[in-house]
Amino acid sequence: MFTAFAVVLGTLVVQGLTLRPLLQALNLHDDDPVGQEVGRARERALQAALAVLDGDPSPAVDTVRQELVAHLKPPAADPDAIDVRQSSHDEVHRRALTAARQVVFEMRASDDIGDDAFHQLEEEFDWIEMGTGARQEP
């Protein structure tokens, strides 16, 4: 029993505690290959999406173009810049959806719309929220 305990202690605990110092001594770092692949894929996806929209001067295309850039633009050199841009974009969506939901709640409370219309609009707002990533924090 003691031998089995010593083997387990030696292999798991001792080696586990020395792994981090060993990795630091060898100067091994993860270059985030998945993050790099995601960045390249975002860039190519954005280029393809914007190429489809080129030549169409309609206001709807301008809006879609701005949304695509907001969601797919490759991260800047400063990681905080992307977080600020994304958080401000999400905040605008949250405020707009909150106001829209509030009006629909008030219309339902005052019997301007029925339950079916209310639920249909709520579903539309939920889809918008899911599509933009502008979820409300609980």
pLDDT tens digits, one per residue of 65-87? 887 887 777 666 555 555 555 56
Identify whether 8 is part of a domain: no
Read off the amino acid at residue 116: D
Domain hosting 58: range is 34-74
Q: How many domains does the chain have?
A: 2
Q: Is residue 1 part of a domain?
A: no
From the list 115, 36, 124, 55, the residue with the least C-alpha distance to 107 is 115
Q: How far apart are CA 112 and CA 105, in angstroms?
A: 10
Which pTM does this prediction carry? 0.45
Q: Looking at the domain assignment, is residue 13 inside a domain? A: no
Q: Which of 24-28, 60-64, 115-119, 128-132 has the lowest mean pLDDT?
A: 128-132
- Count of Cβ atoms closer than 10 Å to residue 19 Cβ: 10
Assign 132 a pLDDT band (cuts: 50, 70, 90): low
Highest mean pLDDT: which of 11-15, 27-31, 38-42, 64-68?
11-15
If one counts every other C-beta atom within 10 angstroms of the C-beta of residue 101, the result is 16
CB 129 within 8 A of CB 136: yes
Task: Answer yes or no: do 115 and 68 share one domain.
Answer: no
Indicate if 97 and 135 belong to the same structural domain: yes
